[in-house]
Structure 1
Amino acid sequence: MADSKPEISPEVQKIKDAEARAKEQAEQDALPYKWRQTLTDVDITIAVPKGTRGRDVVVDIKRDQLTAGLKGQEPVMKGTLCAQVKLEDSTWTIENQQELTIHLEKSKGAEWWKHVLTHHPAIDTTKIEPENSKLSDLDGDTRAMVEKMMFDQRQKQMGLPTSEEQQRQEMLKKFQQQHPEMDFSNAKFS
């Protein structure tokens, strides 16, 4: 028997979503760094004292670990990364002698990270709205995956079935047509 959750009105859902976004934003703002991501990379910015040079910082990027901060002080970031990164494509720089910028290239392309370090607050990746970019800039497989994700997100927002749910419904219809002798009137599908 499938669990049935009570339906909530779109207005109540909008309020709940706004509250969740505000809580998430407050948690992210409290982190000692700022970060943003695309499907293929993560960029982290850490404010450092004016005049900071490369020799003044410690940055250790490993496939699934990151340590970053000022030499002789507790690291600003230290822990396990959300997912593995490509070491050869991950870098760091000091910008204007006041900002440590770390660029991490995701090992698995086309995925959203919930957080940078696993012990930090997570974001709701289903609410990510990617920056405007041309789908034509993406390779075929990535483009198809992004288009499917966008379609499924729109479908969910409208309360309609996702592509997988549509596929299951289509398979069920075909099965029912091939087996008209079977009674599906009391069947429950989740």
Structure 2
Amino acid sequence: MAEDLEKFDSMLLAMAQQHTGGVKDLIETIVSFLGRKTDFFVGGEPGAWEKVVMDAFRKQEKMSRSEHEAKIKERQDADKRIKDIAEKKKREREVQESKITEVTDDEADKLLKEIEEKRHEMKDEEPEEPAEEAPKDSKNDDDSDNDDPKEKGKLKPNSGNGCDFPNYKWTQTLEEIELRIPLSMTARPRDLCVVINRKNLKAGIKNQEAIIDGDFQHDVKVEECSWVIQDGRILVISIEKVNKMNWWSKLINTDPEIATRKINPDPSKLSDLDDETRGLVEKMMFDQRQKEMGLPTSDEQKKQDVLKKFMEQHPDMDFSKCKFN
């Protein structure tokens, strides 16, 4: 039944986006349609329509609360697993530390003597080292990344693997993006203009210049996107990615790029995945970074290793004119 109803989501979402007054205005439109175009209110006993409406609302409330509680429990279970793993590692360290064996004074003297003798032997064998060069000035811990011309000039991701700008900031996981836009005034849904399409986004306060208006770097699932106003002063937009196997280097095409090589996904998120999915995600991340550095992917490395081994086994063969993909 739920799958049958979901086929109307795109139409209802398009309707909802046209009702700037929020859910209240949307419901008013639907009720008006039932009153004007059907016999919903007059086709049965007086008040019969109310039972139909309340039954439907109570059914959906029960389902929504059940799903909400299931998500909360899932997060709590994930947090508990992480906590249990941390406690287990702590206990293992404590057990290892408790296994340290005390030695007698004579044994300690003997160990110190052996260490001192080995130190002298190593010193006699070591060649004389040239004077150390003065350390280079390191203005940035990430300067090594400048060796890769593809990464030069790109911004470092924020803690949420996105980017912070004066007018908005965004974070991302492999599945979705969260965009947070501070508003210049306390606003209600009807005060805002938010239009989300598959390839572009426009958001801001009505009758004012849009705060953000441009094309996405990649396509998004419009039917899975949503937005809310937080504390009356922050517009929060949740954006669902179509391709859930790559990191975005920018939200809007006009934004400066971030260095996706420096993205550090939350380990707890990866640990929640099953082994097969986690392996696929880690392989994808490795291949993406290899491509950005101009290096072979894992599959390409395997092919090169097989070719190298074959060439070593057949040194008499000429491979100079062969082309391999």
- Bucket of the pairwise TM-score, normalised by the shorter protein: 0.7 to 0.9
Aligned to 1:65: 200
Amino acid at match of 1:107: V
Task: Compute the displacement of 1:155 (Å).
Answer: 8.6
Amino acid at match of 2:202: T
Aligned to 1:181: 316
Cα distance in 2 between the residues matched to 1:38 and 1:77: 21
Aligned to 1:147: 282
State the secondary structure of the residue aligned to 2:181.
strand
The alignment of Structure 1 onto Structure 2 pairs a total of residues equal to 176
State the secondary structure of the residue aligned to 2:155.
helix
8 Å Cα contact 2:154-2:259 kept in structure 1: no
Distance 1:118 1:141, change over 3 A: farther
Which stretch shifts more, 95-104 or 119-128?
Answer: 119-128
Matched, 1:15 2:143: yes
Cα distance in 2 between the residues matched to 1:63 and 1:141: 30
Amino acid at match of 1:76: I
Task: Compute the displacement of 1:134 (Å).
Answer: 4.0
Which stretch shifts more, 162-171 or 95-104?
Answer: 162-171
8 Å Cα contact 2:156-2:262 kept in structure 1: no
Question: Higher strand fraction: Structure 1 or Structure 2?
Answer: 1
Aligned to 2:298: 163
Task: Compute the displacement of 1:161 (Å).
Answer: 7.2
Aligned to 2:178: 43
Amino acid at match of 2:305: E
Question: Higher helix fraction: Structure 1 or Structure 2?
Answer: 2
Distance 1:141 1:84, change over 3 A: farther
8 Å Cα contact 2:154-2:256 kept in structure 1: no
**Gapped runs of 5+ residues in structure 1?**
1-8
Task: Compute the displacement of 1:56 (Å).
Answer: 0.8
8 Å Cα contact 1:110-1:142 kept in structure 2: no
Matched, 1:126 2:126: no
State the secondary structure of the residue aligned to 2:303.
helix
Cα distance in 1 between the residues matched to 2:255 and 2:262: 18
Encode CA deviations 1:133-155: one digit per residue, 9 max, x unaligned. 24342356642222224556899
Amino acid at match of 1:65: N
Distance 1:36 1:21, change over 3 A: farther
Structure with greater Cα Rg: 2
Report the TM-score, using the length of structure 1 for normalisation.
0.74
